[in-house]
Amino acid sequence: MEEVCLNSEPVFDMVDEYEGDGEGEGDCSAVEHDDETGSKHSKKEPPLPTIGLEFDSFDEAYDFYNIYAKEQGFGIRVSNSWFRTKKKERYRAKLSCSSAGFKKKSEANNPRPETRTGCPAMVVIRLVDSKRWRIVEVELEHNHQVSPQIKRFYKSHKKMILAARKARPPTEPVTEIHTIKLYRTAAMDAVSNGFSNVSEREGIHQPDHSKHLELKEGDAYAVYNFFCRMKLTNPNFFYLMDFDDDGPLKNVFWADARSRAAYGYFSDTVAIDTTCLTNKYELPLISFVGVNHHGQSVLLGCGFLGHKSVEYFVWIFRAWLKCMLGHQPQVIVTDQCKSLQIAVSEVFPKARHCFCLWYIMQRVPEKLGGLRGFEEIKRQLNKAVYNSLKIIEFETSWTEMIKKHGLGDNKWLQTLYEERKQWVPVYLKDTFFAGMIPIRENKSLNAFFDGYVHKHTSFKEFVDKYDLALYRKHLKEATADVQSKNSSFELKTRCNFEVQLSKAYTKEIFDKFQSEVEGMYSCFNTRQVTANGPIITYIVKERVEIEGNEKEVRSYEVLFETNQVDIRCICSLFNYKGYLCRHALNVLNYNGVEEVPSRYILRRWCKDFKFQHVDLGSTDIDVYGPVYRQSHFHNCAVPIVEGGAQSEEQYKIALHELQELLNKFNLVDDS
């Protein structure tokens, strides 16, 4: 397996588009079948030179254009070079078609005929950051006919062939580098030979496309162009591509600057969405999703997975972890899949791994719908899962359901019970989920790309929609930021808790907390039952709705520590959602506490959280790294954006200053 790491730059070694359902790629070639002879031909189709592509050295840039020229049927030469006088260091060069310009007039008696045509085809490359070469100008059109059949006759191609014959070192995997080598050793052989007839006994075999990304016509270059565009407009864009030894693309991962910065804020709980893989969509999309300060889903990276296996999950998890500077989340929520379990335990050994409760409960009709007495089974299952406040209550309810309906041999229920500590809420009371799991019946969750991906969405269609999907999500977050900052919230009670948190929480979180404050009035008969030093145990009763409009009275045990004003309710809403429940608020009020203790006001839910927080949750964060800089700049820029939008005059001032700043960046880059 060959892994290509692109921390900053686009990948050039793209997999060629398929020309038929049964066709695939070799290491750097498209494999074609001859139906009559069964022979295979390898043909290299390198990507087009594009503005923004970068290389580790001048030689790599030259070789890239030379390979492209060889396949198109023209030669190249270095027509111009610029050097810094002090260091005599080349910092700019123009690579032109060999027919560019015209020869000087010769005084010889029998001068050679003019072969050049003044061809405009060329690329201009420039040294950036004193270490990488970037294409800054491109002209692909020729003013003369080009033909691949005569490509061996150009000097630049002969040099390439001679170099390939002199040394053919073994292929080595590419690891952490800025730009991908444009060809591997085997690819150089294929390029220098043009077409080659090879058989399986000579080492080339047809790849198994069941474990590769099944790219249709137009998909490969759509993804390639997407990455090029993202890198040019998004400097902190990260992506990684995984190629098989035979060439085909196995896996892809990427995360834009916003996703990387968002993880700096919201790295506590991460859901890994594999819905497209589980439901066997044409698009094998996997998404890493967090929860922002408004309780909205936020994208933390995504990718395409060639196969739903441990090896492939491990690869994409490590790619994501590398992108996030090795900082692991505290909690990971996934589908109930064995391959996922193994991969998560290998890559994220310190994280608490839980299964998505909503997804499990969604599968109940599919798994149990054909059983006799299904509706009663479903009711008892929901009661055991959602209504159990203590482990003994869940165990008792589950056992009764199994015995009553004779479900002891049901394999699915057996597996659920064996893994109950990873999905049943009563076993997860010490885990913070940021509201990511529904602890009440009939609460649904939507996938991040819900509405943008369907059963037959293609790769090309998805990358075309990607920007729109993220734009709408970012707009929704920005709108919520403005509403939370500038709006005064409507108070529905006279409780001090409501007034206090209206000044701290974002609007969406305050609305949820407000419902808990209102719920205090449905609680009654708060009484002390035991006291052990400063720790007092209370029982709070509440009337709760059950099926239909019926209500029942439930008792909630609340522990209150008087010295430190610590409080914990058996319902554990604070751990599930991140704000105090009505039962805990009731006990605080009962004891004359007028404000919620600061430890129970999570900063992640506050209006000003993103303005004050620049941290990846780690004490050893690289403050010189791109994620930190992106995060810090974003925080500093938000007030400018908001201020500039207040009036036409402020808008013009802000725009003028930004343009001046960009001009300074360009001057620095040119120097």
Residues of the chain with CATH 3.30.420: 219-356+452-459
What the block records as the tokens of 639 is: 């007030």
pLDDT bracket for residue 63 (50, 70, 90) = confident
Better-predicted residue by pLDDT, 637 or 68: 68
Instruction: Give pLDDT, residue 667.
Output: 66
Higher pLDDT pick, 17 / 517 = 517
State residue 668's pLDDT score: 59
pLDDT digits (tens, 9 = 90+) for 240-272: 988 887 778 899 999 999 999 999 999 999 999
Token pair in block for residue 656: 């003028």
Asked whether the beta carbons of 521 and 589 are under 8 A apart, the reply is no
Using the predicted structure, report yes or no on whether residue 48 has a pLDDT greater than 80: yes
How is 310-357 classified by DSSP, letter by letter? HHHHHHHHHHHHHHTTT---SEEEE-S-HHHHHHHHHH-TTSEEEE-H
**Of 51-55, 106-110, 500-504, which has the strongest mean pLDDT?**
500-504
Backbone angles phi, psi at 170, to 5 degrees: -65, 150
Max mean pLDDT range (32-36, 132-136, 225-229, 393-397): 393-397
What's the mean pLDDT when you consider all of the chain? 79
pLDDT band of residue 2 (cuts 50, 70, 90) is very low
pLDDT at 35 > cutoff 60: no
Bridge partners, 6 (sequence order): 177, 239
Stretch 133-162: mean pLDDT = 73
Considering only residues 671 and 242, tell me which one the structure prediction assigns the higher pLDDT.
242
Compute, in degrees rounded to 10, the torsion defined by CA atoms 123, 80, 185, 68.
Answer: 30
Range in 245-259, 431-445, 514-528, 609-623 with the lowest mean pLDDT:
609-623
The least confident of 109-118, 182-191, 200-209 is 182-191
Share of the chain above pLDDT 70, in %: 76
Let me know: does 23 contact 33? Beta carbons within 8 Å. yes
pLDDT of 194 > 70? The answer is: no
The string of pLDDT tens digits covering residues 337-371 is 999 999 999 999 999 999 999 999 999 999 999 89
Lowest-confidence range among 124-128, 446-450, 640-644? 640-644
Q: Which two tokens stand for residue 566?
A: 């610590």
Q: Is the pLDDT higher at 443 or at 308?
A: 308
- Extended beta strands in 496-600, E state: 523-532, 535-545, 551-561, 566-569
Assign a CATH topology to domain 219-356+452-459.
Answer: Nucleotidyltransferase; domain 5 (3.30.420)
- Residues 468 and 473: their CA atoms lie apart, in Å, by 9
pLDDT in tens, 626-657: 545 555 666 567 667 766 766 778 788 888 88
Q: How confident is the model at residue 312 (pLDDT cuts 50, 70, 90)?
A: very high
Q: Which residue has the higher pLDDT, 197 or 639?
A: 639
What's the pLDDT score for residue 519? Answer: 94
| 669 residue type, one letter | D
How many residues appear in the chain? Answer: 671
Of residues 168 and 10, the one with the higher pLDDT is 168
3-state secondary structure 416-483: HHHCHHHCCHHHCCCCCCCCCCCCCCCCCCCCCCCCCCCCCCCHHHHHHHHHHHHHHHHHHHHHHHHH
pLDDT in tens, 543-596: 888 776 788 899 999 999 999 999 999 999 999 999 999 999 999 999 999 999
The mean pLDDT of 84-105, rounded to a whole number, is 81
pLDDT score for 266: 93
Q: How far, in Å, CA of 299 to CA of 138, rounded?
A: 34
Q: With bands split at pLDDT 50, 70 and 90, how would you rate the model's confidence at 440?
A: confident
CA dihedral 25, 26, 32, 33 (to 10 degrees): -110
Taking residues 608-629, what's their average pLDDT?
Answer: 52
Task: For residues 122-134, give the mean pLDDT.
Answer: 86
Q: Which residues contact 384 (CB under 8 A, 6 or more apart)?
A: 393, 394, 397, 398, 401
Q: Which two structure tokens, joined as six digits, stand for 485?
A: 């900052």
Q: What is the pLDDT of residue 635?
A: 59
- The pLDDT value recorded for residue 42 is 40
- Give pTM, 2 decimals: 0.65
